[in-house]
Amino acid sequence: MRRFTSVRKTAIAICAAAAAFFPFAAGAAGRIPNDPYFSGLWYLGRIGAPEAWQRTLGYEGVPIAIIDSGVDIDHPDLRDNIWRNTGEIGGDDIDNDRNGYVDDIHGWDFVDNDSDPRPSASGAYSVLGMNHGTIGAGVAAAKGDNGQGIVGVTWQSAIMPIRALDSDGAGETYRVVQAVEYAVKNGAKVISLSFAGATESDLLKIALRRAYDAGVFVVAAAGNADEGSDANDLDRNPLFPICLDRDSDENFIFGVAATDEADHRARFSNYGAGCVDISAPGTKIVSTQLYRPGSDDFKSPYGGFYNGTSVSAPMVAGVVALIKSINKNLTPKQIANFIISTSDRIDDINPGLFGKLGRGRINAFRAVEAAAAGGRETLVPVTPTASLLPPSSRRLIVAAPGRGREPEIRFFTEDGLYVRGFMAFDSGFRGGVSLAVANFDGSAKQTVVASALAGGAPQIRIFDVNTRAIGGFFAFDQNFRGGVSVAVGDLDGDGKDEIIAGAGPGGGPHVRVFRPDGTPIGGFFAYDKKFRGGVVVSAVDADGDGIAEIGVAPASGGAPTRVFTLRGALVRETPAARPAPVEFRVTGKSSPALTVVGAATMINVAGPRSSLSFPPYGNAFRGGVRVGLIDVRL
C-alpha cells in the first residue's frame, strides 16, 4: 500500500521551553497532588480535574491506547502507569497469549514490527515527532501524587503504547488500522488519536467502527492550521480520522477541538459541527517528553509550553478513563452523553462558530459526577454532530436554572440534545430565573420571557428564538429585590398572550398584568396585603373556555392556592396542603403531544414514542429547573 503521508500527527507548535508556569488558582477546591509542576498545569483547574479526583483517580483496568509515534515507557512519570500484558512472558520469543504478537509486554511497534513501542531514532526523525506520543501520554495519564513532575488527567489508568507513526510523525493507513485492531484485541477501553490527514480510508473507518461496537471509546484530534494559515472548517474540508463518522448513523469518533485559557477557540484549531463533539484546552500545556539523559535533544523529562489539538485529544481521553473507572459497564454512547450534557457552553464567546466547537468545553468534574449519579442509564441520546446545526423548523425545550447557578437559559431538542444557550441577566447573578414562552402577536412566532428571582432587580426581559433581547420593563419598584415570578397567557381572549408578574418574598402578594411593551392592564393583591411570603403565578384555563385565568400560589407561608380573572375576581380557591417537591410542568400544544417537567435536577420528557430524563445543568446542580416549549418554525 502506498505511503500515506497525509496521515500525520496534528502539529504541536512548541511555544517556549517550560521555564515559567502559570500558577494554579489560589485556594482551588478538590484533591491536590504533590507533583511539583502541578502549579503550572492551568488546564486541569479549568476542566475541574481536582474536583473530579475527589470521586476517582482512575483505574489501571481502564487502559488508554496512545496510537502515535511511540511512548517513552521508561519515563519516571509514566513507567508506573504503562500497560503490561499479563498473558505474555517477556524475552522467551514465544507468543504466550496467542494474540499474534511475540513478547508484546508493553504494546507494539507497527513501524518497525517489534515489541518495543518506544520512539526510535534509527532513521530520520524530528524532535517533535519523537516526543509526540510521550507528550500525549503524559497529558492523559502521567502518574499522580508521586512527587515527580506533572500529573495526568487520570492518575492511575494504564497507558497502552502503540507505535503507528514514524519518528517524524508520518504513517501509513494499514499501520494505523493494525494499531486500532491491536488496541481492541488487547483490552484498551479508550483510544487516543492525535493525528489528521486529508485521505479518507474505508479500512480505518471500519476498524474504528468495530472498536466502538466493541465498547471502546475513540477520541480524535481536529487538527491544526499550518503556521501562517487560517484554521480549517471541517464541514467544508474534512480531515480524517476525526470526520470518518460524519455521515454515519452512530457518533463512533469523538472529535476534539482546542480552546485557550479564556475558552476561546485556539487560533490554530480546526472546527466543524459535523466532526467536532467537544473542545478541551490546547494551549500552554506542560507534559512529559522522551527522556534520554546525556543526549542533546532529549535531556529534559518535561517540556512546554505546547499548543495543539494533539494535547486536547488525550486530555479528553483521560476524562473518559475517569468516567469509565466509575462504571466499567458504561458504553461509549453513555460516556459521550455525560461529557456532552455537562460541558461548559462556549458558543456565546466564540461568535460565528455556533456548534462548530462541539457542545462546549469539557468539564471533568461534572461529567464524572453525572456518571456517578446515573451511570446505569443513558441520560441524553447522542446523534452524529451534524444535528447541532441551528434548527430551522422544530420544537425545542427551554430551561432556566433556579438559585445557585449563573442565569443561563438553555435550549434543547426533544431528545435532550443541547442546541444553544444565553445569559438572561448578568452572569454573576445566582438567584435563579423564572421562565415563560409567549405568543404575543397571534402568529406562530414565539418568544422567551424571563425574570430574575431572589436578589435580582424586578425586571422582565423578552428574547426571540435567536436569543436576541427584544424588550423589557420593570414589573415593580426598581429597588425591590425579592424576585419576580413570571407567566404568560391569553387573558382577554384576543389570541395574544399577556405577561403576568408576581412579587417574590418581601414584596407583598402583588400580581400585575402587562402588555409585552410594559403597559400595565391589571393588578391585584392575591392575599392579605400584610402577607410577605411571595407569590408564584401561572396561567390556567380554569373553566375551559379558551381564555386563561391567573393562578396564584404562595412561595412560602402556607396560604391557599387561588385562581383569578384578569380583573382580579376570585374564581376558586384550594386550601393549602403539605408542600410537594417543586416542579415545573408544560405540555406542548403542537403535535405530537409532549409533556416536559422540570424538577430539582432533571428535565423529564414524556411523549407518545419515548420518554427520557436529562440534567440540563449537570447532576451536581440541584437548585431547580423551570421549563418551557418553544416552536422555532420561522
Q: Among all residues, which ones are annotated catalytic? A: 68, 132, 310
What's the grid cell of residue 13?
507548535
Paired strand residues for 501: 486, 512
C-alpha span between 297 and 550 (Å, rounded): 76
Is the Cα dihedral 418, 437, 575, 480 positive or negative?
positive
Q: Which helix (H) or strand (E) element contains residue 177?
A: helix 173-185
Say which residue the cell 396542603 belongs to.
577
For 101, 180, 230, 333, 629, the CA distances from 413, given in Å and listed in that order, are 47, 34, 32, 17, 10
- Backbone dihedral angles phi then psi of residue 487, each to the nearest 5 degrees: -150, 165
Residues β-bridged to residue 233:
271
Provide the grid cell at 540.
390556567
Separation of alpha carbons 390 and 367, rounded Å: 25
Q: Are 500 and 549 in contact (CB under 8 A)?
A: no
Cis status of the peptide bond prior to 422, with omega within 30 of 0: no
304 grid coordinates:
512546554
| Residue found by looking up cell 462541539 in the block | 358
Q: Are strands 549-554 and 561-564 parallel, antiparallel or unpaired?
A: antiparallel
Residue with cell 519523537: 130
CA distance 202 to 210: 12
